[in-house]
Amino acid sequence: MSSSSVTQQPSRRPVGDALEHRPARSTVPLAWAGIIGPVLFTAVFLAQEAFLVHDYSPLAEPVSALEAQPHGWVQQINFVAFGLLTIAFAVGLGRGVRPTRAGAAGPALFLVSGVGLLGAAIFPLSKDATGVTIFPVGHVIAGNAFFLSSALALIVVSLRLRRDPRWRGLATYTLAAGIAVVAGGIVMNVLVIPDDASLHDFAGLAQRLIILVVLFPCRIALSLRLLRVASGRR
């Protein structure tokens, strides 16, 4: 059979591989929102802790407990600002990574985490007449929504990152961070949060390790890459 009689089939490649997905320049401020959000949130709650040396224990109390302090409205605003910036980041991430089947799930989960932060402000912590901190059910639900959706978002987004050459280098790190946040959440719910848990007195430390060592650095890394992609830099 001669080679001329063989009909060559055109190679089938996904549309995303044939045409490079380039987000609009309007994605740049959304990338900055992803960078500013964790940094601003951390700076504000650390500043509050510095002024509450004798009334608040970062080692034992979660960040949310700042709402139960005399100037708790500051932390409520902090939650609102972080929530809105997180939602903006979620929109930007959805634009910045090459679309895939069911690829919107990751950014959508980040958006849910932003809504969870807004819920933490809507249902603030308070103190009763004896000085015991009260955790409203709405706040507990909002807090769990934030951590769970953040962890799942990292895991799901990592699968989409593997399909985009510009993002592939962050895929493994993002997956590992998501798994670490899930593991940290399990440890928190078993060994830290219950009143009779062995590590209950270190609830604040455990929470800060999860967000400051694992979650926030990964989110900032994703935002920096989004800024790079949205700016057209390779």
pLDDT in tens, 168-184: 999 999 999 999 999 99
Looking at residue 211, what is its pLDDT?
A: 97
- List all residues 6 or more positions away from 67 whose beta carbon is below 8 Å from its beta carbon: 75, 76, 124, 125, 126
- Cα–Cα distance, 198 to 190 (Å, whole number): 9
Low-confidence ranges of the chain (pLDDT < 50): 1-19
Residue 68 tokens read as 């139960």
Looking at residue 15, what is its pLDDT?
A: 44
- Cα–Cα distance, 184 to 213 (Å, whole number): 11
The answer to pTM > 0.85 is yes
Residue 199 tokens read as 């590590």
- Cα–Cα distance, 2 to 20 (Å, whole number): 37
pLDDT in tens, 73-107: 999 999 999 999 999 999 999 999 998 887 899 99
Q: Work out the burial of residue 199: count CB atoms within 10 Å of its CB; fewer than 13 is exposed, 13-18 middle, 19 or more buried.
A: middle
Looking at residue 234, what is its pLDDT?
A: 59
